[in-house]
Homo-oligomer: A and B are copies of this chain.
Amino acid sequence: MIEGLSPKKKKLLERVIDVAEAEVAAHGAKTLKARDLASAAGVALGTIYTVVEDMDDVVTHVNSRTLRRLGAALRDAVPPDGDAVRAMHALAAGYVTFALENLNLWTAIFTQSLPAGKDYPDWHKADYPALIEQIIAPLSELRPDLEGEALILRARTLFASVHGVVSMSVFGRFVGVPRAQLHAEVDALVDAMTRGLEGVAQ
């Protein structure tokens, strides 16, 4: 990522990501253009290719930033004193709020796709766990019988279901929950999941 970059190049990379982030936040990842990046960063077209592999790489950097901010938001969301159910609701609400307040950046995370054969770099994958990390503790409390793999698996299901509701709503097409009812419906989902999880065998 920033491995063997000189301080100067590091600065340039940061500047390029700054500019890209602003553009994605304003208009989405689809309208990112190499020429715009270059001129906004104050360098010639070819120069950005000395700190970045290609345009996907730029978006991946932006997405890593967003994932880290999302991770921090979720860490801050869960109250230190509440019980597990409270924590779950706080996390879900935090996720909804982050998505709504970072619409384009949040969307960019989940709509990028690399050409066949290319894989995401490790430094980017390292940011994925932020999505479910905070869920595991309260879930483990609600389901003391789940451990290790099974616990993580259920945390993933829980996250993905909430993500789906938010995603469908934000996406706007199809049959998403209207924005106004999003928080309420996600709460209902978390309630249902929590109770369901308590009562379900296995």
Contact = CB atoms under 8 A, between A and B. Distances in A.
Interface of A: 27-28, 30-31, 110-111, 113, 115-116, 120, 128-129, 131-132, 153-157, 159-165, 167-169, 171, 173-178, 181, 185-186, 188-189, 191-197, 199-200, 202
Given A154-B185, A156-B185, A196-B196, 11 more contacts: A28-B116, A155-B175, A156-B175, A160-B165, A161-B164, A163-B168, A164-B168, A191-B200, A192-B197, A193-B193, A195-B196
Nearest to A192: B196
A165 B163 CA distance: 8
A56 to B, nearest CB: 11
Copies assembled:
2
B128 A156 contact: no
A70 to B, nearest CB: 12
Contacts of A164: 160-165, 167-168
Given A161-B165, A168-B156, A168-B160, A189 B193 contact: yes
A191 B196 contact: yes
